[in-house]
Amino acid sequence: MKKTAFLFPGQGSQAVGMGLDFYQEYDVVRELFDMAEEISKINVSKLSFKGPMEDLTQTVNLQPAVTAVNLACLAAIEKEGVRPNICAGHSLGEYSALSASEIVSRENTFKLVFKRGELMHREATRNKGAMHAIIGLSIDEVTEIVDQVKVEGVVAVANHNAEKQIVITGSPDAVEKASSMASERGAKSVLLKVSGAWHSDLIKGASDEFRDFIESIQFNTPQRPLIFNVTADFEEEPGEIKSIMARQLCSPVKWYDAMCKLMDEHVEIFAEVGPGKVLAGLLKKILPKDYPYRIFNVNSMKSLELFLKDAT
Protein backbone atom coordinates (compact mmCIF):
# COMPACT_ATOMS: atom_id res chain seq x y z
CA MET A 1 0.00 0.00 0.00
CA LYS A 2 1.25 3.50 -0.84
CA LYS A 3 2.13 5.86 2.00
CA THR A 4 -1.15 7.04 3.53
CA ALA A 5 -2.12 10.05 5.66
CA PHE A 6 -5.35 10.32 7.63
CA LEU A 7 -6.55 13.94 7.92
CA PHE A 8 -9.21 14.90 10.47
CA PRO A 9 -11.50 17.93 9.95
CA GLY A 10 -12.54 20.47 12.56
CA GLN A 11 -15.17 23.18 12.95
CA GLY A 12 -16.93 24.09 9.71
CA SER A 13 -17.25 20.48 8.51
CA GLN A 14 -20.37 19.64 10.51
CA ALA A 15 -23.67 18.60 8.93
CA VAL A 16 -26.91 17.27 10.38
CA GLY A 17 -26.96 13.50 9.83
CA MET A 18 -23.20 13.08 10.11
CA GLY A 19 -22.05 9.66 11.32
CA LEU A 20 -25.52 8.08 11.35
CA ASP A 21 -24.84 5.12 9.05
CA PHE A 22 -21.68 4.16 10.98
CA TYR A 23 -23.69 4.43 14.22
CA GLN A 24 -26.27 2.03 12.80
CA GLU A 25 -23.60 -0.37 11.50
CA TYR A 26 -20.97 -0.70 14.26
CA ASP A 27 -21.16 -1.44 17.99
CA VAL A 28 -17.83 0.34 18.50
CA VAL A 29 -19.30 3.55 17.05
CA ARG A 30 -22.32 3.41 19.36
CA GLU A 31 -19.87 2.98 22.25
CA LEU A 32 -17.95 6.07 21.08
CA PHE A 33 -21.09 8.21 21.07
CA ASP A 34 -22.08 6.85 24.49
CA MET A 35 -18.63 7.80 25.78
CA ALA A 36 -18.92 11.32 24.32
CA GLU A 37 -22.34 11.77 25.94
CA GLU A 38 -21.21 10.42 29.31
CA ILE A 39 -18.26 12.85 29.43
CA SER A 40 -19.97 15.94 27.99
CA LYS A 41 -23.52 15.38 29.34
CA ILE A 42 -24.66 16.50 25.86
CA ASN A 43 -26.95 14.42 23.61
CA VAL A 44 -24.23 14.19 20.94
CA SER A 45 -26.01 11.53 18.85
CA LYS A 46 -29.28 13.49 18.65
CA LEU A 47 -27.46 16.73 17.73
CA SER A 48 -25.30 14.97 15.13
CA PHE A 49 -28.10 12.98 13.51
CA LYS A 50 -31.12 15.32 13.87
CA GLY A 51 -29.74 18.78 14.71
CA PRO A 52 -30.96 21.47 14.67
CA MET A 53 -27.94 22.95 12.90
CA GLU A 54 -28.09 26.08 15.07
CA ASP A 55 -27.57 24.01 18.24
CA LEU A 56 -25.02 21.68 16.62
CA THR A 57 -22.90 24.67 15.55
CA GLN A 58 -22.51 26.05 19.10
CA THR A 59 -18.85 25.36 19.81
CA VAL A 60 -19.51 23.68 23.18
CA ASN A 61 -21.73 21.11 21.37
CA LEU A 62 -19.80 21.01 18.12
CA GLN A 63 -16.41 20.01 19.50
CA PRO A 64 -17.51 16.67 21.04
CA ALA A 65 -19.90 16.04 18.12
CA VAL A 66 -17.36 16.46 15.31
CA THR A 67 -14.80 14.51 17.36
CA ALA A 68 -17.29 11.65 17.86
CA VAL A 69 -17.93 11.49 14.10
CA ASN A 70 -14.20 11.70 13.26
CA LEU A 71 -13.45 8.85 15.65
CA ALA A 72 -16.46 6.88 14.36
CA CYS A 73 -15.12 7.11 10.79
CA LEU A 74 -11.67 6.12 12.07
CA ALA A 75 -13.08 3.15 14.01
CA ALA A 76 -14.87 1.92 10.88
CA ILE A 77 -11.60 2.05 8.90
CA GLU A 78 -9.61 0.38 11.68
CA LYS A 79 -12.24 -2.38 11.89
CA GLU A 80 -11.18 -3.25 8.32
CA GLY A 81 -7.53 -3.46 9.43
CA VAL A 82 -6.28 -0.26 7.78
CA ARG A 83 -3.90 2.09 9.61
CA PRO A 84 -2.30 5.35 8.41
CA ASN A 85 1.42 6.00 8.08
CA ILE A 86 0.98 9.62 9.24
CA CYS A 87 -1.84 11.64 10.84
CA ALA A 88 -2.81 15.30 10.93
CA GLY A 89 -5.90 17.23 11.98
CA HIS A 90 -7.11 20.76 11.33
CA SER A 91 -7.50 22.74 14.60
CA LEU A 92 -10.21 20.79 16.50
CA GLY A 93 -9.43 17.83 14.21
CA GLU A 94 -5.95 17.62 15.70
CA TYR A 95 -7.46 15.99 18.80
CA SER A 96 -8.84 13.15 16.65
CA ALA A 97 -5.32 12.82 15.19
CA LEU A 98 -3.92 12.53 18.74
CA SER A 99 -6.27 9.56 19.24
CA ALA A 100 -5.42 8.01 15.86
CA SER A 101 -1.70 8.23 16.72
CA GLU A 102 -2.46 6.67 20.14
CA ILE A 103 -0.98 9.67 21.96
CA VAL A 104 -4.25 10.13 23.85
CA SER A 105 -6.97 7.56 24.65
CA ARG A 106 -10.44 7.99 23.14
CA GLU A 107 -11.88 8.82 26.56
CA ASN A 108 -9.26 11.49 27.20
CA THR A 109 -9.75 12.86 23.68
CA PHE A 110 -13.39 13.58 24.52
CA LYS A 111 -12.40 15.11 27.86
CA LEU A 112 -9.96 17.43 26.09
CA VAL A 113 -12.33 18.60 23.34
CA PHE A 114 -15.23 19.13 25.72
CA LYS A 115 -13.07 21.24 28.05
CA ARG A 116 -11.67 23.12 25.05
CA GLY A 117 -15.19 23.80 23.75
CA GLU A 118 -16.41 25.02 27.15
CA LEU A 119 -13.47 27.41 27.55
CA MET A 120 -13.67 28.72 23.97
CA HIS A 121 -17.42 29.31 24.33
CA ARG A 122 -16.84 31.19 27.59
CA GLU A 123 -14.19 33.46 26.05
CA ALA A 124 -16.29 34.06 22.92
CA THR A 125 -19.19 35.31 25.07
CA ARG A 126 -16.81 37.63 26.95
CA ASN A 127 -15.02 38.99 23.85
CA LYS A 128 -16.89 39.50 20.60
CA GLY A 129 -14.78 38.28 17.69
CA ALA A 130 -14.79 37.75 13.94
CA MET A 131 -12.94 35.71 11.34
CA HIS A 132 -12.54 36.40 7.61
CA ALA A 133 -11.00 34.27 4.87
CA ILE A 134 -8.59 36.23 2.66
CA ILE A 135 -8.19 34.65 -0.77
CA GLY A 136 -5.58 35.72 -3.29
CA LEU A 137 -2.70 37.08 -1.17
CA SER A 138 0.42 35.31 0.11
CA ILE A 139 1.04 34.69 3.81
CA ASP A 140 3.71 37.41 3.79
CA GLU A 141 1.28 39.96 2.35
CA VAL A 142 -1.46 39.07 4.86
CA THR A 143 1.01 39.12 7.76
CA GLU A 144 2.20 42.58 6.68
CA ILE A 145 -1.41 43.87 6.71
CA VAL A 146 -2.10 42.26 10.10
CA ASP A 147 1.04 43.85 11.56
CA GLN A 148 -0.12 47.28 10.38
CA VAL A 149 -3.62 46.89 11.85
CA LYS A 150 -2.79 45.17 15.15
CA VAL A 151 -1.71 48.49 16.72
CA GLU A 152 -5.42 49.46 16.59
CA GLY A 153 -6.94 46.23 17.87
CA VAL A 154 -6.58 42.46 18.19
CA VAL A 155 -6.02 40.82 14.80
CA ALA A 156 -3.92 37.81 13.81
CA VAL A 157 -3.51 35.06 11.24
CA ALA A 158 -5.66 32.11 12.38
CA ASN A 159 -5.15 29.57 9.59
CA HIS A 160 -2.81 29.34 6.62
CA ASN A 161 -5.01 26.86 4.77
CA ALA A 162 -3.60 26.98 1.23
CA GLU A 163 -0.87 29.01 -0.42
CA LYS A 164 -3.17 31.99 -0.98
CA GLN A 165 -6.09 31.13 1.32
CA ILE A 166 -5.56 32.58 4.78
CA VAL A 167 -8.01 33.15 7.64
CA ILE A 168 -7.61 36.20 9.88
CA THR A 169 -9.11 36.47 13.36
CA GLY A 170 -9.64 39.06 16.07
CA SER A 171 -11.91 41.93 17.14
CA PRO A 172 -14.57 42.74 14.50
CA ASP A 173 -13.34 46.28 13.71
CA ALA A 174 -9.69 45.24 13.34
CA VAL A 175 -10.57 42.22 11.20
CA GLU A 176 -12.83 44.39 9.04
CA LYS A 177 -10.04 46.94 8.52
CA ALA A 178 -7.47 44.25 7.63
CA SER A 179 -10.01 42.73 5.22
CA SER A 180 -10.56 46.09 3.51
CA MET A 181 -6.80 46.54 3.10
CA ALA A 182 -6.54 43.04 1.61
CA SER A 183 -9.40 43.84 -0.80
CA GLU A 184 -7.56 46.99 -1.90
CA ARG A 185 -4.66 44.73 -2.90
CA GLY A 186 -6.98 42.60 -5.03
CA ALA A 187 -7.89 39.87 -2.55
CA LYS A 188 -11.33 38.39 -2.01
CA SER A 189 -12.59 38.58 1.59
CA VAL A 190 -15.23 36.22 3.02
CA LEU A 191 -16.86 36.63 6.45
CA LEU A 192 -16.92 33.25 8.25
CA LYS A 193 -19.90 32.15 10.34
CA VAL A 194 -18.15 31.57 13.66
CA SER A 195 -19.04 32.45 17.23
CA GLY A 196 -15.59 33.62 18.32
CA ALA A 197 -12.14 34.81 17.28
CA TRP A 198 -10.48 31.39 17.37
CA HIS A 199 -6.66 31.23 17.36
CA SER A 200 -6.33 34.81 18.62
CA ASP A 201 -5.47 36.59 21.87
CA LEU A 202 -9.19 37.25 22.37
CA ILE A 203 -9.49 33.70 23.73
CA LYS A 204 -6.21 33.91 25.66
CA GLY A 205 -8.24 33.87 28.89
CA ALA A 206 -8.78 30.15 28.26
CA SER A 207 -5.11 29.43 27.67
CA ASP A 208 -3.72 28.97 31.20
CA GLU A 209 -6.74 27.00 32.37
CA PHE A 210 -6.56 24.70 29.36
CA ARG A 211 -2.80 24.26 29.81
CA ASP A 212 -3.44 23.12 33.40
CA PHE A 213 -6.15 20.73 32.22
CA ILE A 214 -3.84 19.21 29.58
CA GLU A 215 -1.28 18.56 32.32
CA SER A 216 -3.83 16.32 34.06
CA ILE A 217 -4.25 14.11 30.96
CA GLN A 218 -2.06 11.13 30.10
CA PHE A 219 -0.10 11.67 26.86
CA ASN A 220 1.89 8.79 25.33
CA THR A 221 4.66 8.49 22.75
CA PRO A 222 3.07 8.44 19.26
CA GLN A 223 2.57 4.99 17.75
CA ARG A 224 2.49 6.66 14.31
CA PRO A 225 3.79 10.10 13.35
CA LEU A 226 1.60 13.20 13.66
CA ILE A 227 2.27 16.59 12.03
CA PHE A 228 1.21 19.37 14.41
CA ASN A 229 -0.65 22.59 13.53
CA VAL A 230 1.59 24.87 15.59
CA THR A 231 4.92 23.64 14.18
CA ALA A 232 3.99 21.89 10.89
CA ASP A 233 6.40 19.21 12.06
CA PHE A 234 6.61 15.94 14.01
CA GLU A 235 7.16 15.58 17.75
CA GLU A 236 7.64 12.41 19.79
CA GLU A 237 8.17 13.58 23.36
CA PRO A 238 4.84 13.53 25.31
CA GLY A 239 5.72 16.56 27.45
CA GLU A 240 6.54 18.65 24.39
CA ILE A 241 3.34 17.47 22.67
CA LYS A 242 1.35 18.77 25.67
CA SER A 243 3.08 22.14 25.32
CA ILE A 244 2.30 22.27 21.59
CA MET A 245 -1.37 21.44 22.18
CA ALA A 246 -1.66 24.10 24.89
CA ARG A 247 -0.24 26.68 22.45
CA GLN A 248 -2.56 25.54 19.65
CA LEU A 249 -5.52 27.42 21.14
CA CYS A 250 -4.14 30.88 20.30
CA SER A 251 -1.54 30.01 17.62
CA PRO A 252 -1.97 29.97 13.82
CA VAL A 253 -2.84 26.66 12.16
CA LYS A 254 0.01 26.03 9.68
CA TRP A 255 -2.06 23.70 7.50
CA TYR A 256 -0.42 24.62 4.20
CA ASP A 257 3.05 23.94 5.63
CA ALA A 258 1.82 20.68 7.16
CA MET A 259 0.50 19.47 3.80
CA CYS A 260 3.81 20.42 2.14
CA LYS A 261 5.51 18.33 4.85
CA LEU A 262 3.34 15.35 3.85
CA MET A 263 4.61 15.75 0.28
CA ASP A 264 8.19 15.81 1.61
CA GLU A 265 7.33 12.49 3.28
CA HIS A 266 6.12 11.11 -0.12
CA VAL A 267 2.53 10.53 1.02
CA GLU A 268 0.39 9.60 -1.99
CA ILE A 269 -2.94 8.55 -0.41
CA PHE A 270 -4.79 11.27 1.51
CA ALA A 271 -7.96 10.27 3.38
CA GLU A 272 -10.15 12.92 5.01
CA VAL A 273 -11.60 10.96 7.94
CA GLY A 274 -14.71 12.71 9.22
CA PRO A 275 -17.63 14.85 8.03
CA GLY A 276 -17.52 17.15 5.00
CA LYS A 277 -14.94 17.72 2.27
CA VAL A 278 -13.19 20.88 3.48
CA LEU A 279 -9.71 19.34 3.76
CA ALA A 280 -10.03 17.49 0.44
CA GLY A 281 -10.90 20.81 -1.19
CA LEU A 282 -7.84 22.50 0.32
CA LEU A 283 -5.59 19.62 -0.77
CA LYS A 284 -6.69 20.03 -4.37
CA LYS A 285 -5.45 23.64 -4.19
CA ILE A 286 -2.17 22.68 -2.51
CA LEU A 287 -0.93 19.55 -4.30
CA PRO A 288 0.89 20.23 -7.62
CA LYS A 289 -0.64 18.70 -10.75
CA ASP A 290 2.49 16.59 -11.35
CA TYR A 291 2.51 15.18 -7.79
CA PRO A 292 1.22 11.56 -7.64
CA TYR A 293 -1.74 11.50 -5.27
CA ARG A 294 -5.25 10.25 -4.61
CA ILE A 295 -7.71 11.92 -2.24
CA PHE A 296 -10.53 10.09 -0.44
CA ASN A 297 -13.29 11.18 1.94
CA VAL A 298 -14.35 8.59 4.49
CA ASN A 299 -17.59 9.75 6.12
CA SER A 300 -20.19 7.13 5.13
CA MET A 301 -20.43 3.39 4.50
CA LYS A 302 -20.39 3.99 0.75
CA SER A 303 -17.26 6.17 0.89
CA LEU A 304 -15.58 3.65 3.23
CA GLU A 305 -16.18 0.87 0.69
CA LEU A 306 -14.71 3.04 -2.08
CA PHE A 307 -11.64 3.84 0.03
CA LEU A 308 -11.06 0.18 0.92
CA LYS A 309 -11.48 -0.93 -2.70
CA ASP A 310 -9.36 1.74 -4.37
CA ALA A 311 -6.71 2.70 -1.81
CA THR A 312 -5.76 -0.58 -0.14
For the chain, helix (H) and strand (E) counts, in that order, are: 14, 8
**Residue from 45, 189, 199, 200 carrying the catalytic annotation:** 199
| Cross-strand partners of 155 | 170
Integer Cα distance of 124 and 138 in angstroms: 28
**Residue from 91, 189, 195, 200 carrying the catalytic annotation:** 91
How crowded is residue 151: how many other Cβ atoms within 10 Å of its Cβ? 8
| Cross-strand partners of 189 | 134
**Cβ(99)–Cβ(36) under 8 Å?**
no
Kindly calculate the radius of gyration of the chain based on its CA atoms and give it in whole angstroms.
18
Choose among 186, 187, 95, 73: nearest CA to 133: 187
Catalytic residue at 91? yes
Half-sphere exposure of 252 (CA within 13 A, CB side): 21
Give the list of residues 6+ apart from residue 293 with CB closer than 8 angstroms, or none: 267, 268, 269, 270, 283, 287
Catalytic residue at 199? yes
Q: Is the C-alpha dihedral spanning 101, 49, 129, 208 positive or negative?
A: negative
Integer Cα distance of 295 and 273 in angstroms: 11
186 torsion bin: left (phi>0), alpha (psi -120 to 50), beta (else): left
**Residue 205 exposed, middle or buried by CB count within 10 Å (0-12, 13-18, 19+):** middle
Q: Which residues does the annotation mark as catalytic?
A: 91, 199
